[in-house]
A and B are shown apart, each in its own frame.
Chain A
Amino acid sequence: MKKVTIFGLSLSLPLLVWQLLFFAFPLVFLVALSFWVVENYRMVPDFDSVNWTKMFSRGVFWDTYLRTLALAAGASVLVSILAFPCSYGIAFKLSANLRRLAIFLMVIPFFTSYLVRVYSWQIFLSDNGILNAAFGLVGAGPYTMLNTDFGTMTGYLTLCLPLVVLLQVFSLMFVDRTLIEAAHNLRCGRLRTVFLVIIPSARVGIVIAALFCFILTFGDFVSPLYLGGGKPPTLSIMITDTTKAGQQWPRAAVIAIVMIATLLAVAFSAIGYAYRKRA
């Protein structure tokens, strides 16, 4: 049982080395960096908590933190709600062939760079853009959509919706059909079945999908900058601002560590919730 074979090692070691080299070591370095100081635009190794006290004492940091958290959480909920009817339809209503096609269509957006897709949105959302031109035809608008939170959210949806739909579809496809039939036999209505049987059965997939959405949007730089107009800024924009101003990489490291800690906390609690024993 405990015998370590060369074969086993050769399979598991690369992953371990990879993780150490590209995750653990950089993380340790990031923590160390956050205690360095900057003198005359040059980083000097030190052990000074000045960066932590400086960042934590600034109201703008906490405002930005809460805003980023709210945007990411909002995006996760919104995307999950928007994705669910679509995933439900794909998983339960389509024939096997159509389902394959639908899944394929959900994969297609990943063929093109996210940055390109976000830039394309600018053409739709700008004041003189395609959407406002269409609204103008029916006498409405123009609405300001670019450089607003609406724009940011549009970008987040572009980033996450296909992925969330895919993850939800895969979890819904594996919901035990006999449970649904049983519910129907017990005269449970369609909508009630969805909320009382299907969603609880697919909970793991739905929560993990929302978690992915949170992780992707919490650290996203592109949408808030190019569709949100950088106002108000999110944490990722704040990181670039901090590095630009006086080469404050140590302070940027503080922001990054807070972000990583937040993501870890959210990820662990989400996974804990997803795999919690059914009550």
Chain B
Amino acid sequence: MPSCVHGSYEPHKDARNIANGTISTIYFEKAVNVHILPEELFRRCRRPRRSALELPMKNTGDGDMSNPSSGSGHLFTRRRFLHGSMAAVGGTLSAPYVVRRASAATTELTMLAWYGHAEPDIVAEFEEQHDVKVKPKYYSGGDNMLALIAQSPPGTYDLILSDAEYVQQLNAAGYVEELDPGDYPLDDYFPEFQDFPGHWKDGKLFSVMARFGFLGVAYNTEALTEEEARSYGVYWSPKLTGKLGHFDWHLPNLGQVSLYDGNRPPFDLDETAWDKLQETTLSMRPQVGGFFDYGGTFASLQNGQMLAFCGIGDWITGVLQKEGAAVRTVVPEEGGLQWTESFSIGKGAQHPDLARQFIQYITSPEGQVKSANMAAYPALIPSRKGWDLLNAETPEEAQRQGMVPGQQNVMDDIREGRIQFRALPVQQTLEDWNDFWSDYKSG
């Protein structure tokens, strides 16, 4: 909790301090007693990803009673009060950390990734198998990722997880190694993903897709029907005046409005289409209740302050849904966007063999199942064998995410042409898009 509420940028340090007791329980009691912070507040501290202010926090979501900081001296009532709040934060923060620190691995595999990809639920098994410790550096956006690489000496990162639209830039800048396609189980993938655009250049492979997801209309199921949410037009519904939230990043928001405008592909716009897109977007402005980072998005969907969100997908609503909130995402008639995350090996990596083994691990059926169920944010997986194992191991999650072979599933959405890849603007610069987004926010 302290890392969250104090805006500290070193949550792991705080986690350590909680673990060894240097941040005392009294501290928490004070905070709790004076302000009576409900669970909801703490839940925000647990959210995992995506904003500059946002802090990477561990989010395993259970292990409440293992919290060393809740101590044995508490009254039952306080315990109950702390349960799910304090405990969830402190306990899950510290417990895995202690375990991980205890096993002093000799080798460190460095990974540059979105939050969640080097957490125990994903990497613990790999660390054990290879007697290695995965050391993450978490970033909060493609620009941020490129900057971190640019500012570090070559070889700083063994593994680089990137959103697909940035792979070309990684490659163009010479930040990543060429990969041998024979090393990876690409044949297990659905054909659509075997040669993903941008991952190959001149017949050479530079990045291997690990997971993906759809962005659509995220809505409160108590406020809107699925019927209504089946069109982006719902963003203009009187029901949503002041109740429509934006995830504060221009690309997915403008991409959705572009789909609503009927642009295919949504990011390749000529002058007329770009003007039209700006006009359509601006007409939505009176509906908007706020622009939110990850934490704000999470909280305002959960407490009903916002009844629908533009620019997000199951990677946020899935987490809330699993906690029982009445929110979900549907892909509307105008089509949805796909985000894609892929692994590359950094140029001059210190441990290229281990990095290769890690990509093999995460693209194997077992790794794919872990990826689909990732605690930080769930995702779809491109491996058919992964789907089979997922249906055997966690059938309810396979069902929830629509990854059941033989019935209407997410691959059908793609094959019916309802999904477009999220991409960088083709005819305008990123700066143009970003400038417009600033103007829109300010309007």
Q: List chain A positions with a Cβ less than 8 A from chain B.
A: 40-42, 58-60, 63-64, 108, 111-113, 115-117, 119-120, 122-123, 126-129, 144, 146-147, 221, 225-226, 229-233, 238, 240-241, 243-247
Query: Closest CB-CB distance, B194 to chain A, in whole Å?
Result: 30
A128 — which chain B residues lie within 8 A by C-beta? 303-305
Contact present for A41 and B290 (CB under 8 Å): no
Given contacts A60-B439, A233-B442, contact A225 B296 (CB under 8 A): yes
User: How many B residues touch the partner, as a band?
Assistant: 35 or more
B438: chain A residues at CB < 8 Å are 60, 233, 238, 241
Distance from B27 Cβ to chain A, minimum over Cβ atoms (Å): 10
**Contact at B146–A41, with CB atoms within 8 Å?**
yes
Query: Which chain B residues (281-339) contact chain A, with CB distance < 8 Å?
Result: 288-293, 296, 299-300, 303-305
- Contact yes or no, B442 A246, CB < 8 A: no
- Measured between beta carbons, the chain A residues less than 8 angstroms from B442 are 60, 63-64, 232-233
10 contacts between A and B (CB under 8 A): A64-B442, A108-B34, A119-B5, A122-B299, A128-B304, A225-B293, A230-B248, A231-B291, A244-B140, A247-B144
Q: How far is the CA of A64 from the CA of B143 in the complex (A)?
A: 24
B contact set with A: CB distance below 8 Å: 4-7, 30-31, 34-38, 40-41, 44, 52-53, 140-141, 143-144, 146-147, 150-151, 169, 173, 242, 248, 288-293, 296, 299-300, 303-305, 430-431, 434-435, 437-439, 441-443
Give me the 5 closest cross-chain CB pairs, A-B, nearest first. A229-B290, A41-B146, A42-B150, A245-B434, A230-B291
Q: Which of A58, A108, A146, A244 contacts B143 (CB 8 A)?
A: A244
B435 CB contacts on chain A under 8 angstroms: 58, 60
Q: Given A40-B150, A60-B439, A127-B304, A115 and B37 touching (CB < 8 A)?
A: no
In the complex, which residue of chain A has the Cβ closest to the Cβ of B173?
A40
Cβ of A245 and Cβ of B41 under 8 Å apart?
no
CA distance A232 to B439 in the complex (A): 10
Q: Which of A42, A116, A126 contacts B35 (CB 8 A)?
A: A116
Question: Are A115 and B6 CB-contacts (below 8 A) given A123-B41, A233-B441, A240-B52?
Answer: yes
Assess whether A42 is in contact with B303, with CB atoms less than 8 Å apart.
Answer: no
Distance (Å) between the CB of B401 and the closest chain A CB? 29
B-side contacts of A111, CB under 8 Å: 30, 34
A230-B291, A230-B292, A244-B144 known; A126 vs B44 contact (CB < 8 Å): no
Secondary structure of the B contact surface, majority rule: helix
A111–B33 alpha-carbon span in the complex (Å): 12
CA distance A122 to B35 in the complex (A): 12
| Residue in B5, B36, B147 whose CB lies within 8 Å of A247 | B147
Most buried by A among B5, B7, B41, B173: B5
Bound-state CA distance A165–B147 (Å) is 45
B441 contact from A41, A58, A231, A243, Cβ within 8 A = A231
Q: Say how far A111's CB is from chain B's closest CB, in angstroms.
A: 7
Chain A nearest Cβ from B80, distance in angstroms: 19
- CB proximity of B17 to chain A, nearest CB, Å: 16
The answer to whether B303 and A126 touch across the interface, beta carbons within 8 angstroms, is: yes
Residues from chain B with a CB closer than 8 A to the CB of A40 are 146, 150, 169, 173
Q: In the bound complex, what is the Cα–Cα distance between A240 and B434 (angstroms)? A: 13
Contact A232 B430 (CB under 8 A): no
List A contacts of B173 (CB < 8 A). Answer: 40
Q: How far is the CB of A277 from chain B (nearest CB, A)?
A: 43
* Cα–Cα distance between A119 and B291 once the two chains are bound (Å): 16
Contact B141 A244 (CB under 8 A): yes
A159 and B437 alpha carbons, distance in the complex (Å): 30
Report the Cα distance A246→B145, complex, angstroms.
Answer: 10
Chain A residue with Cβ nearest B290: A229
Residue of B nearest to A242 (CB): B438
